[in-house]
Amino acid sequence: MLFSPIKIGSTMIKNRVVVTAHLTNFGKQPENIINDKYISYLERRAKGGVGLIITEVTGVHPSTHPLSGNTFVRDEKCIPGYEKLARSLHKYDCKGVVQLWHGGRQTHSGFNRMHVISPSAIPCPLNRQVPKEMETEDIREMIDAYVKSAINVQKAGMDGVEVHGAHGYLICQFLSEFSNKRKDEYGGDLDNRMRFAREIIEGIRAECGKDFIVGFRISADEFVEGGINLDEAKEIVKKIEGAGNVDYISVSAGNYATTPIIVGNASYPIGWLVPYSSAIKSVTDLPVIAVQRINDPQFAEKVLAEGHADLVGICRGNIADPDFVNKAREGREDEIRKCMGCLQGCTSRIFQQFEMSCVQNPVVGFEQELDEISQAKKKKTIIVVGGGPAGMEFARVANLRGHQVKLYEKESHLGGQINLITNVKSREEFGEVKRYREVMLKKQGIVITLGKEIDETFVLAENPDAVVIATGSRPRTQSFEGANRKNVIDCMDVLKNSKSVGKRVVIVGEDTFRKATDVAEYLSSNGAEYVEIFTQYPFVGMEIDFINLTDVYQKLYAAGVKFTPNTIMTAYDGKNVTVKNAYSGLESTIQDIDTVIIASWNEANSELYTALKGKVKELYRLGDCLAPRTAMDAIYDAYKLAREV
Ligand SMILES: Cc1cc2nc3c(=O)[nH]c(=O)nc-3n(C[C@H](O)[C@H](O)[C@H](O)COP(=O)(O)OP(=O)(O)OC[C@H]3O[C@@H](n4cnc5c(N)ncnc54)[C@H](O)[C@@H]3O)c2cc1C
Ligand SMILES: Cc1cc2nc3c(=O)[nH]c(=O)nc-3n(C[C@H](O)[C@H](O)[C@H](O)COP(=O)(O)O)c2cc1C
């Protein structure tokens, strides 16, 4: 069914796969007009075979501005960009719909120095600014803005618009009693709360005619006290269908009080929201789009075959692999580079105001510059030392360019530190970094030698054209009093299961990303009785994005893990740990600690690189061996280097 066409309104969509809306931050201030970077990004997904693409949240009025780089369609100067986008998508028989959006209170005045607006003067649970309660003339102005934006979209030759009624944004704020406490005709009973949405939709249909797609995205449940629940969402959909102006329903969930639900991370099971699309589908004849963690074609097929939805939204799946659809169609499912629900490159980066990226796919945002992998002018023999994410990705891409690559790994398996991460229950899916690359290396016939530690003599004897050192990193030496005791162990050794750990542990959380919390989860699910993480920073996990952090905190608090911020390690006498407050310097003791676990930053395994410098024709290093960072950086380094060698 996945590859069968379906009609939305009067428009035929060639298959059932939809790239649902996702903010990329590729737009540039102050104009925030759709640009070539964004067009190339979406065009690549069209080329990869999807039937329908919904653009990111697209501002209809200057009073909304979620993040620095989203795009607007509010005035006519936006039209040429969308004309170009329409041509780029239609070239591949992919249809394109623009998501019309106003954030209401779920934005921040910091972006544009304008106060935020909402149906009622209640602050956004996340951005926390008190909005101006919209006056009737504001409401009229916003309805006009949606309609004018839709007209611009139509003039540009795009196929339609999606009215964003989900995720707690302005329209959802009106729909929901959680945010709408108005006493006028736009508040109160459901019909009144729907009035704003209804007038927008009616206005668009009246101006744009019946052949223009008008979709509606709804949160089937906001998962908040007093908010929209599934029963009410069904009522809303019935009324929307009854009014006869909408062509499809896209079923999502959540608002900014429940942001982790909007884009579920790896802790959410695959397809966890499908029962909600199924429930919505049971009350409407309109085509229904299901989303959330549908990251594999067989599951997508099942969703359709069992009648839970008419189309499947595969958003992150197509970020991670733009060829998702074509690979699925060609039966190359094992070659799909799956989304792991890690959020590290996508939502985490956009909430930091960076451009969107993806751990799995280093090309995201660089489709114009990096997508094509061309044959190397001179085919070389290349030795790659280290089979972690950096070495594997380099070998994969360099081989595609025609180089003769030999990959050496000292352990009996590939994957490097990925094998430590996946020992943590909630992080198993991160192993997709390794699985995908292992499959490709084997399929491409790359010579891999496991269990061989490479040294200078070996490399010089082989005399290759180029040497790539991807030997990763190791724990750095600690200097506090007692740091060299045998019961002071690095988290990497704990996760390798190579050293025994006592029942009462403290974790020195110098690393503010995943190490301290990963090892805490690992220990508390493997028999530890007392686990305390302390860090010199204001909170544990400072570099973890707030969506993942919510999940991490839920798990660790539930497991009884103690968090102690603003605290520095001073000494360990084998029994008691002495710490001091980072600001007052006041010392205190944590008693009866069997093991101290270090979760710190690493140092590069750069000795082989240094030893070979000046002795081989071409020498490179990458990933943690260049500077210990993340797998996302390692893969990006590797991909870029492999295109250049
Ligand atoms: C607990 C934990 C959680 C993490 N969480 C994340 C996360 O959520 N997101 C993220 O992006 N990153 C995360 N990281 C960091 C990430 O795993 C590393 O940055 C990444 O693995 C670095 O890749 P690499 O290939 O450069 O090095 P490594 O993964 O260290 O691989 C190097 C490989 O080289 C091999 N090797 C070394 N010397 C030789 C030699 N002489 N001969 C042959 N082989 C050799 C090693 O055995 C190893 O397999 C985490 C790390 C840890 C420890
Ligand atoms: C980086 C990112 C940005 C998103 N931005 C939007 C958006 O602009 N509008 C919207 O309706 N949904 C947005 N979403 C939600 C997605 O459309 C989709 O519902 C969600 O990612 C779950 O589907 P998936 O598991 O296939 O990724 C965003 C998701 C991601 C990952």
Convert the pLDDT of each residue in 94-116 to its tens digit: 999 999 999 999 998 888 888 99
- Give the span between the Cα atoms of 632 and 390, in whole angstroms: 9
CATH number for position 285: 3.20.20.70
Q: How far apart are CA 89 and CA 108, in angstroms?
A: 32
616 domain residue, yes or no: yes
> Which one, of 376, 388, 379, lies nearest residue 413 by Cα?
388
**Distance of alpha carbon 452 from the chain centroid:** 36
Atom of ligand 2 nearest to the CA of 347: 1
Using the atom order of ligand 1, give the atom closest to the CA of residue 391. Answer: 25
Does residue 72 sit in the same domain as residue 169? yes
pLDDT value at residue 66: 67
User: Going by CA atoms, what residue is nearest to atom 1 of ligand 1?
Assistant: 515
Closest residue CA from atom 21 of ligand 1: 417
pLDDT at 404 over 90: yes
Confidence of residue 48 (pLDDT cuts 50, 70, 90): very high
In DSSP terms, which residues pair with 76 in a beta bridge?
none
Residue 291 CA, ligand 2 centroid: distance in Å: 9
Quick count: other Cβ atoms within 10 Å of Cβ 331?
9
365 and 377: one domain?
no
Q: Which ligand is nearest to the CA of 512?
A: 1
Contact 421, 406 (CB under 8 A): no
Which two three-digit tokens encode residue 143?
């309805």
Q: How far is the CA of 534 from the centre of ligand 1 (A)?
A: 24
Nearest CA, atom 3, ligand 2? 22
Nearest CA to ligand 2 atom 4: 22
Tokens 């398996």 belong to: 413
Which ligand ends up closest to the CA of 317? Answer: 2
Q: In whole angstroms, give the CA distance from residue 309 to residue 305.
A: 9
Q: How is 432-490 classified by DSSP, letter by letter?
A: HHHHHHHHHHHHTT-EEEES----HHHHHHH--SEEEE---EEEPPP-SBTTTSTTEEE
Residue 449 · residue 409 · CB < 8 Å: yes
Distances (CA, A) of 525 to 395, 559, 563: 36, 8, 17
557 and 632 both lie in a single domain: no
Per-residue pLDDT tens digits for 500-559: 899 999 999 999 999 999 999 999 999 999 999 999 999 999 999 999 999 999 999 999
Tokens standing for 11?
């428009």
Residues 118 and 256 in one domain: yes
CA of 463 relative to ligand 1 center, distance in Å: 26
Average pLDDT, the chain: 96
Given a contact cutoff of 8 angstroms between Cβ atoms, the answer to whether 500 and 473 are in contact is no
User: Is 457 in the same domain as 495?
Assistant: no
For ligand 1, atom 52: residue with the closest CA: 515
**Dist. CA 143 → ligand 1 center (Å):** 52
Quick check: helix, strand or coil at residue 627? coil
Q: What is the pLDDT of residue 320?
A: 98
* Atom number in ligand 2 closest to CA 166: 11
Residues touching ligand 2 (Cβ under 6 Å) are 20-23, 56-57, 99, 164, 166-167, 217, 252, 262-263, 291-294, 313-317, 346-347, 350, 356
Ligand in nearest proximity to the CA of 422: 1
- Minimal-distance CA residue to ligand 2 atom 5: 22
**In this structure, is residue 481 part of a structural domain?**
no
CATH number of domain containing 519: 3.50.50.60
DSSP 114: P
Other C-beta atoms lying within 10 Å of the C-beta of residue 443: 12
> Which residues contact ligand 1 via a Cβ below 6 A?
344, 359, 385-391, 408-411, 416-418, 420-421, 453-454, 470-473, 491-492, 495, 514-515, 518, 605, 608, 623-625, 629-632, 634
Q: State the total domains in the chain.
A: 3
Cis-peptide, bond into residue 297, ω within 30° of zero: no
Q: Say if 482 falls within a structural domain.
A: no
- 612 and 581, same domain (yes or no): no
Tell me which amino acid residue 96 is. G
Q: Judge whether 452 and 409 are in contact, CB under 8 Å.
A: yes
**Which of 345, 369, 393 is a domain's end point?**
369
| Alpha-carbon separation of residue 491 from 268, 461, 494 (angstroms) | 26, 36, 5
> Do 59 and 74 touch, CB atoms closer than 8 A?
yes
Active site members: 169
25-34, 119-128, 268-277: lowest mean pLDDT where? 25-34
Residue 514: which domain range?
A: 488-600
Residue nearest atom 29 in ligand 2 by C-alpha distance: 22
323 and 471 co-located in one domain = no
Question: Residue 70 pLDDT more than 90?
Answer: no
- Verify that 123 and 183 share a domain, yes or no: yes
Ligand located closest to 319 CA:
2
- Residue 59: left if φ>0, alpha if ψ -120 to 50, beta else—which one? beta
The answer as to whether 185 is a domain residue is yes
Query: pTM here?
Result: 0.97
Does residue 480 fall inside a structural domain? no
CATH code of the domain covering residue 462 = 3.40.50.720
Give the distance (Å) from ligand 1 centre to CA of residue 631: 7
Which ligand is nearest to the Cα of residue 496, counting in written order? 1
Q: Are residues 435 and 461 in the same domain?
A: yes
Rounded average pLDDT over 348-376:
96
Separation between Cα atoms, residue 218 and residue 130, nearest integer Å? 24
pLDDT reported for residue 248 = 98
Q: Last residue of some domain: 369, 388, 414?
A: 369
Query: Is there a single domain that holds both residue 409 and residue 504?
Result: no
Task: Give tens-digit pLDDT for 480-517.
Answer: 999 999 999 999 999 998 788 999 999 999 999 999 99
Query: 84 - beta bridge partners?
Result: none
Q: What's residue 383's pLDDT?
A: 98
Judge whether 69 lies within some domain: yes
Tokens of 242: 């009854």
470 C-alpha to ligand 1 centroid (Å)? 9
408 part of a folded domain: yes
Question: Which residue, 596, 604, 565, 562, is CA-closest to 578?
Answer: 596
- For a mutational test of ligand 2's pocket, the pick from 16, 19, 20, 319, i.e. the residue with the most ligand atoms closer than 8 A to its C-beta, is 20
Check if the beta carbon of residue 472 is closer than 8 Å to that of residue 625.
yes
Ligand 2 atom at minimal distance to the Cα of residue 70:
8
Unique residue bearing structure tokens 């103690």: 562
Domain boundary among 347, 369, 391: 369
Out of 495, 630, 637, mutate this one to test ligand 1's pocket (max ligand atoms within 8 Å of CB): namely 630
* Coil vs helix vs strand at 251: strand
Q: Has residue 1 been placed in a domain? A: no
Residue 563 half-sphere exposure toward CB, CA atoms < 13 A: 19
Q: Which tokens go with 592?
A: 């009866």
φ, ψ (nearest 5 deg) of residue 432? -60, -30
Is the C-alpha dihedral spanning 325, 328, 330, 334 positive or negative? Answer: positive
Give residue-wise pLDDT tens across range 207-244: 999 999 999 999 999 999 999 999 999 999 999 999 99
CA 263 to ligand 2 center in whole angstroms: 6
| Same domain flag for 287 and 225 | yes
Tokens representing 293 are 């963690």
Distance from C-alpha of 258 to C-alpha of 103, rounded to nearest angstrom = 15
Domain shared by 456 and 421, yes or no: yes
Q: Is 516 exposed, middle or buried (0-12, 13-18, 19+ CB in 10 A)?
A: buried
Model pLDDT for residues 573-623, shown as the tens digit of each residue: 999 999 999 999 999 999 999 999 999 999 999 999 999 999 999 999 999
Looking from the CA of residue 492, the nearest atom of ligand 1 is: 53
In this structure, are residues 102 and 144 in contact, taking their beta carbons and an 8 Å threshold?
A: no
Q: What is the 3-state secondary structure (H, E, C) of 216-228?
A: EEEECCCCCCCCC
Chain segment 146-182, per-residue pLDDT in tens: 999 999 999 999 999 999 999 999 999 999 999 999 9
Q: What is the pLDDT of residue 58?
A: 95
Query: From the alpha carbon of 20, which atom of ligand 2 is closest?
Result: 17
CA distance 308 to 427: 28
Beta strands in 220-364 (DSSP E): 248-252, 288-290, 311-313
Cα of 298 to ligand 2 centre, how many Å?
21
